[in-house]
Amino acid sequence: MGNLSKPNSSATEDIIIATAEQMFAENGIHGVALRAISQASGQGNSVAVQYHFKNRKGLVSAILKQRIQRIELRRRELLDALLESHLELRLEDYLEIIQQPLVELMDENKRHTFARFLLACYASADYWDINTGFGVRAWQNKSQRETNATMEILDLIAGCLPNLPEQVLVWRIMEYVRAIPSTIVAWENAQNSELKLAPLEVLLNDQLTMMAAALQAPLSFTSREFLKQSAVASKST
C-alpha cells in the first residue's frame, strides 16, 4: 500500500470529510465505523479512511481543519469590514464575528451539519477539547499563537474587559462558543416539532446580548476563592 499513489486525493478526501461529518453528526464520533464511512463515501477500498487520514482522530482533525479554514476566512472579512466602518464598536460586535460564520456554514441541504458535528465532539470524552473554543486555548499561548482574525478578535474582546482575569475570560468565552452550536441545533430540531421558536437570528441575537452581559458580570465568590488558591499554589511551587 505504501507504493500506491493518490490520484484525485484532494477530491476523494473532500468527499470522505463531508460524509464523515454528516455521519459523526448523526451518530456520534464513536457511533460509526470507519469502514462504514468509506463505503458511504463511495470508496471501493474499505480502508479508504485509514489510507487518507490514518485513523479516527486524523479524520476528525481533518474535518475541523477544513471547516475552520472557511470560518477563519469569513471572520477576517467581517472583522475588516467592521474596523473600516469607523463606528463606535461594542463587545457585542466582536462576539457576533465569532458567531456569524458558524451560523452561515451549512451543507448542501441547508442543514447545520458542522454545528451538530461540534456537539458530537463536545459529547465525546476523547474529542471534547479538540480545538477547544475555536482558538481560545491557542490565544492563551501568546508566544506561539498564529496571527489570524480569531486571535485579533479575542484580543479586542479582552480589551473590552480589562478588569477580568484572563483565566476567567477564557472560561467565559469557551462557554459562549460552545453555546452557539447548541442553540443552532436546538432551533433546527424544533423545526420538525410542535414547539414554535423565534427565528434563529432572533434567538442568537438574544443569546449574544446575554453572553455579553455574562462576560462583564462580576466574579462569583467561588471564582475569587479559586483564583486566590491558585495564586497561592503557584507561588509555593
Q: In this structure, are residues 68 and 138 in contact, taking their beta carbons and an 8 Å threshold? A: no
Q: Which residues of 148-181 are buried (b: 16+ CB within 10 A; e: fewer)?
A: ebbbbbbebbbebbeebeeebbbebbbebbbbbb
| Gyration radius from the chain CA atoms | 20
Give the separation between CA 59 and CA 61, rounded to whole angstroms.
5
Summarised one tens digit per residue, pLDDT across range 64-95 is: 989 989 999 999 999 999 999 988 999 999 99
Contact indicator for 131, 72 with CB cutoff of 8 Å = no
SS3 content of the chain, % helix, strand, coil (to 5): 70, 0, 30
Q: Grid coordinates standing for 8?
A: 484525485
Mapped onto helix, strand or coil, the DSSP state of residue 237 is coil
Neighbours of 31 (CB within 10 A): 12
pLDDT of residue 145 exceeding 70, the answer is: no
pLDDT digits (tens, 9 = 90+) for 185-202: 999 999 988 888 899 999
Mean pLDDT of 157-171: 90
Question: What is the C-alpha separation between 29 and 52, in angstroms, rounded?
Answer: 18
pTM here is 0.87
Taking residue 76's Cβ as centre, other Cβ atoms within 10 Å add up to: 17
Supply 76's cell numbers: 477576517
Which domains can be identified in the chain, with CATH numbers? Answer: 9-218 (1.10.357.10)
**Nearest-angstrom CA–CA distance, 25 and 120:** 6
